[in-house]
Amino acid sequence: MTYIVLLLLSFMLTYYIKRIALKKSLVDIPNDRSSHTTPTPHGGGIAIAITWFVGLTYLYYINDIESSLYFALMIGIVVSVISYLDDLYELSAKLRLTVQSLVAFFGLYFLGGLESFDLGVICIDNQILTNIFAFFMIIWFINLYNFLDGIDGYAGSEAVFLGVAGFLLFGGSHFLVLIFAVLGFLIWNWHKAKIFMGDVGSTLLGYNVAIFTVYYANQDGSNLWLWIILFGLFWFDATLTLYRRYENGEKLSLAHKKHAYQRLTQSGWSHSKVVIFSILLNSTLFCLVYFISNVFVAFFIALIVLYGIIKLVDKKKAF
């Protein structure tokens, strides 16, 4: 019953946010970099954030979540607030990065840092090195999730997938809270979207994935790679695209439409077709971590699969 309430809360909040956004003309106007063609309200991620934090607090109240994980995830409030202000006022990159750095620091503080980094042949347990890695990973996950939020249902379906995968692999009511908090919004965001998530939602989801990665890696070092595989669709596209743009001598701060999902829509695929394809690819990544006991073998196969997908996209629409 709790999760039905959260689903309805997210659904109704998204509806009211949509109405307010239309009334106050808080809409995304299409431009040459957009993947949509009509002005659409944004800020739907507020519904996700509110439902998520309400659900987490309920779990904390009934002692169904560890305090370290609870407080680390609740720091995400800061990410959501600064991202919403950025949606409204276009804050400077320097300010956003400063806030994200503070959030990464306190998130790691509540988790006790990243204890070790298992590379298979060696295990790095130097706390300075492991936490430098975790610090930059959190910041990168926050931003790359935002980069990959560009077509209807894409960012939301990724969050639902990660929630389902996390629940099946680890249990944990926090994953159910995530699933239903996002589903209520996703109903309004499926193609054609009635409202967009905005930075307020996408950056929060990226932060959550990073915190899950560190938290479960502290339980078992191989879990870090497990989460990297599960999140492979997003981080591989974002990282490879950034590298290829750098190699091409492009100015990295400029907006673009070169991510794989964007190029698929440019090639003629509908938003729904791209999202359904991503769900199938995510299901493949889940099967790799579920059926292959050696996580490093699974990671290697995942890289081959992901790179193969990029090459297929290149054939449909050149980089």
Closest CA to 230 of 301, 168, 166, 305: 166
Q: Quickly state the pLDDT bin for 37 (edges 50, 70, 90).
A: low
Residue 87: pLDDT band with limits 50, 70, 90: confident
CB of 41 closer than 8 Å to CB of 194: yes
**129-to-5, 72, 258, 296 alpha-carbon distances in Å:** 43, 20, 33, 21
- At residue 26 the predicted structure's pLDDT band, cuts being 50, 70 and 90, is confident
pTM for the whole thing?
0.95
* Residue pointed to by tokens 């600064």: 82
Per DSSP, what are the bridge partners of residue 205?
none
| Mean pLDDT, residues 23-46 | 78
User: pLDDT at position 251, please?
Assistant: 87
* pLDDT above 80 for 76: yes
Residue 191: what pLDDT?
82
Which string of b and e fits 252-283 if b means at least 16 CB within 10 Å? Answer: eeeeeebbbbbbbbeeebebeebbeebbebbe
Give me the pLDDT at residue 32, please. 61
Q: Total structural domains in the chain?
A: 1
Instruction: Check whether 14 has a pLDDT greater than 70.
Output: yes
CB-based contacts of 171, cutoff 8 Å, min separation 6: none
The confidence score (pLDDT) of residue 179 equals 98
pLDDT tens across 228-277, in order?
A: 999 999 999 999 999 999 999 998 888 888 999 999 999 999 999 999 99
**Residue 102 domain boundaries:** 2-316
Over residues 141-159, mean pLDDT: 95
Of 278, 318, 7, 254, the C-alpha closest to 155 is 278
- pLDDT per residue as tens digits for the range 198-207: 999 999 999 9
Tally of CB atoms within 10 A around 313: 20
pLDDT recorded at residue 192: 87
Supply the pLDDT for residue 31: 66
The partner residues of 123 in beta bridges, in order of sequence, read 118
Predicted confidence at residue 205, as pLDDT, reads: 98
Nearest-angstrom CA–CA distance, 98 and 107:
14
- Please, are residues 10 and 51 in contact by the beta-carbon 8 Å criterion? yes
